[in-house]
Amino acid sequence: MNETTQQTRPLRLVAVMGLPGAGKSAAAHLIAQRINAVLLRSDVIRKEIYPVPRYTPEEGRNIYQEMFDRSATLLARGQSVVLDATFRADRLRRQAQRIADEAGASWWLVLVTAPEDVIRRRLATRRDDPSDADFEIYRLLRAEFESIATPHEVIDNAGTSAQLAERVAQIFTA
């Protein structure tokens, strides 16, 4: 991308959140493509830092901090960023928003949802994915997921890939 093109595109930080199996990663990938952003996935960062993760609170803090540090660096370079993580705690969402504000980037919060039966099926058939989440982890995270107090977009990802792409296109203009 040349410098002129980069300067004419709005700088954005998009946090894509939701429970395991909802389709966050699929949505985040489409959003990153649509807005020409770098995609940072907490599951990938987890495997980079902890090859055999134990999913402790300390690991979680370190993973989010690394993701936030990387996003701040990319935004400072003029590159939009999409964050793919559960973001189950409000403090994590607010921290991401602060990073966007400090960089002068527009802030987007997107919740990806799907019915529980769809999530159960997806988690049971998941292969070759950086996430280790199964249905038990889904249930634990669902119980811990804090209500969303800030404006956000919602993507119901119960349908097809084409429907997901259409919804992303409705929300995000290039």
154-172 pLDDT, tens per residue?
A: 999 999 999 999 999 999 9
pLDDT of residue 52: 86
CATH number, domain at 30? 3.40.50.300
Rounded average pLDDT over 38-52: 95
pLDDT of residue 129: 66
Q: What is the full DSSP assignment across 101-120?
A: HHHT-EEEEEEEE--HHHHH
Number of domains in the chain: 1
> Is 103 in contact with 7 (CB distance < 8 Å)?
no
Q: Does residue 4 sit within a domain?
A: no
Q: Does residue 79 sit within a domain?
A: yes
Q: Does residue 50 sit within a domain?
A: yes
Listed residue (168, 142, 140, 146) closest to 155, CA to CA:
168
Which residue has tokens 């995609």? 39
Q: Does residue 155 sit within a domain?
A: yes
Residue 5 predicted with pLDDT over 70? no
Higher pLDDT, 129 or 118: 118
Q: Does residue 24 sit within a domain?
A: yes
Structural domain of 114:
10-171
What is the Cα–Cα distance from 42 to 25, expressed in whole angstroms? 10
pLDDT band (50, 70, 90) for residue 8: low
Residue 35 predicted with pLDDT over 80? yes
pLDDT band (50, 70, 90) for residue 118: very high
Quote the DSSP letter at residue 14. Answer: E
